């Protein structure tokens, strides 16, 4: 369930932070697309890789925060969990959004939907951060980016779940239109936080 904003950041001219953590690069592409839509909506953005060494994105400097994290072995990137936990109080005072990127989200079965919801809820419980808006986003099978061991493992998992197994190419399952719509809705939220429920 999406969270209310407990207090509005009063400087609408501050940029929006678009932060992400990625293992093979696809979540960065999603974050960049979100950032592009926010810019098209008239907002300034700062893009930050939370997995980079010495990454120090402080949400207090921003009018809104978007975070995208990929899922591996059933949990989101540890760097995102640590960052969100350390900034929980500040994140609660402005519009925030979280995009959970996983291959599970490419499956529209009830079981898969329950799994993606549970992974987002796990992040909430681990960090204390309750994002204003959330979206489960289908990721990609990046066979050409994987090392040999990961490629073999992902091909085996894909075969078990009826996903593509051709390791000579990559497969993008992301619904980019849904990502862009989510970004546009978040831009409207940042532009008028006072109009949102408290």
49: pLDDT strictly greater than 70: yes
Q: Are 86 and 80 in contact (CB under 8 A)?
A: no
Q: Are 128 and 121 in contact (CB under 8 A)?
A: no
In angstroms, the CA 18 to CA 35 distance is 6
Is the C-alpha dihedral spanning 9, 12, 15, 18 positive or negative? Answer: positive
**φ/ψ of residue 78, rounded to 5:** -60, -35
Q: Are strands 133-138 and 64-72 parallel, antiparallel or unpaired?
A: unpaired
pLDDT computed for residue 191 by the predictor? 87
Q: What is the pLDDT of residues 141-172, one digit of tens each?
A: 777 888 888 887 878 877 777 778 788 877 88
Q: Which of 8-22, 63-77, 173-187 has the highest mean pLDDT?
A: 173-187
Domains of the chain by start residue, with CATH: 16-139+174-191 (3.40.50.360), 143-173 (no CATH)
* Tokens (6 digits) for 119: 């992974």
Say which residue the tokens 């929006």 belong to: 16
pLDDT computed for residue 13 by the predictor? 63
pLDDT computed for residue 104 by the predictor? 87
* Tokens (6 digits) for 161: 């779940």
112: pLDDT strictly greater than 60: yes
Mean pLDDT on 83-109: 93
């Amino acid at each position: 369930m999406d969270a209310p904003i407990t207090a509005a950041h009063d400087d609408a001219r501050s940029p929006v932070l678009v932060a992400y953590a990625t293992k093979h690069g696809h979540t960065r592409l999603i974050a960049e697309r979100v950032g592009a839509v926010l810019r098209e909506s008239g907002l300034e953005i700062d893009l930050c890789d939370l997995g980079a060494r010495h990454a120090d994105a402080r949400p207090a400097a921003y009018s809104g925060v978007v975070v995208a994290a990929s899922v591996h072995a059933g949990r989101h990137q540890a760097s995102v969990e640590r960052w969100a936990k350390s900034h929980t109080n500040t994140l609660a005072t402005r519009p925030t959004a979280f995009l959970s990127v996983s291959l599970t989200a490419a499956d529209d079965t009830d079981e898969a939907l329950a799994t993606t919801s549970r992974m987002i809820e796990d992040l909430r419980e681990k960090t204390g951060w309750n994002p204003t808006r959330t979206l489960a986003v289908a990721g990609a099978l990046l066979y050409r980016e994987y090392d040999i061991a990961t490629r073999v493992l992902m091909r085996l998992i894909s075969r078990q779940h009826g996903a593509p197994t051709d390791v000579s190419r990559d497969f993008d399952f992301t619904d980019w239109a849904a990502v862009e719509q989510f970004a546009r809705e978040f831009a409207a939220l940042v532009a008028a936080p006072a109009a949102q429920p408290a």
